[in-house]
Amino acid sequence: MRAALLAGLLAGYGVAVPVGAVGAYLVSLTARTSLRTGAGAALGVATADGLYALLAVLGGSGLAPLLAPVAGPLRIGSALVLLALAVRTAVTALTALRARHSAADPTRAPVTQTPPGPARAFLTLLGLTLLNPLTVLYFTALVLGDGRGSPADPLARAVFTLAVFAASASWQLLLAAGGALLGRALTGARGRLLTALGSAALVGWLAVRLLLD
C-alpha cells in the first residue's frame, strides 16, 4: 500500500504542478471572485485528475489505443473552450469598467454580472480538465511503465487514485489561495481589470498554442 500511495502522490503532483491554461484560469477566477469559488474550481480539476487516474488503473493498456483516434478532436475542443473562457473573462472585465464609468451618471443603471459560485466553478473546471486526453495517457504510461500493468489489488488501485486526487487537490487549492491573495492585493477596480485582461490574454495565447501544437 505504501508503494501505491507514494506512486499516486508523485503522479498527482507530476500532472498538477506544471501550470498551464487551466491553472492560470483558476488563479484569475479566484482573484476575481472568492476563495470559496476558487476552491470549488480547484476541486473540479483534482476530481478530473482522480477520475483519469482511476481509468488508468482500471483500463491499463487498453486506454491508449482507444483515445488515440479522438486525441486531435479533443485537443481542438479543449482549445475552443479555453478561447471561450478567455473571451468571457475579457468581456466581463470590460463590462465592469463600463459599469464603473456609468456609476456617476444617475440616468444609467450599472451593468453587473453574477460571479460564478463554487458549484458552477467546480463543473466548469471539471469539464475543461476532462477535455484533455493527455492526462489519462500520462497516468496510463505511469501505470504501465514498470511492465507489470495496472495493480491487481483493488485496495492498491483505490490508494493510488485517492493519492492522485489528494496531491492534485492540494496543489490546485494552493493556486486558488494565491489567487485569493492576489485578489485582496488588487482591490482597486483598475487592478482587477488589468488582472482579468492579463488572464484572458494568457489563456487565449495558451489555447492558440494548443491548436498549433
Give the pLDDT of residue 195: 62
Kindly report the backbone phi and psi dihedral angles of residue 26, in degrees, each rounded to the nearest multiple of 5, phi listed first.
Answer: -60, -45
Q: Which grid cell is 158? A: 483505490
Give the pLDDT of residue 25: 83
Give the pLDDT of residue 28: 83
Q: What is the DSSP string of 68-112?
A: GGGHHHHHHHHHHHHHHHHHHHHHHHHHHHHHHHHTT-TTSPPP-
Give the pLDDT of residue 109: 45
Residues in Cβ contact with 125 at an 8 Å cutoff, skipping those fewer than 6 apart: 22, 25, 26, 41, 42, 44, 45, 48
Q: Say whether pTM exceeds 0.75.
A: no
Give the pLDDT of residue 149: 45
Q: Which ranges of the chain have pLDDT less than 70?
A: 18-20, 60-68, 70-71, 74-75, 78, 81-82, 85, 93, 96-97, 99-115, 132-152, 183-192, 195-196, 199, 202-203, 206, 210, 213
- With 0-12 CB in 10 A as exposed, 13-18 as middle and 19+ as buried, what is 167? buried
Amino acid code (one letter) for 115 = P
- Residue 47 to residues 1, 116, 203, 207: CA-CA distances in angstroms? 21, 19, 21, 22
The helix/strand/coil state of 48 is: helix
Kindly report the CA angle at 179 between 174 and 180, in degrees rounded to 5? 95
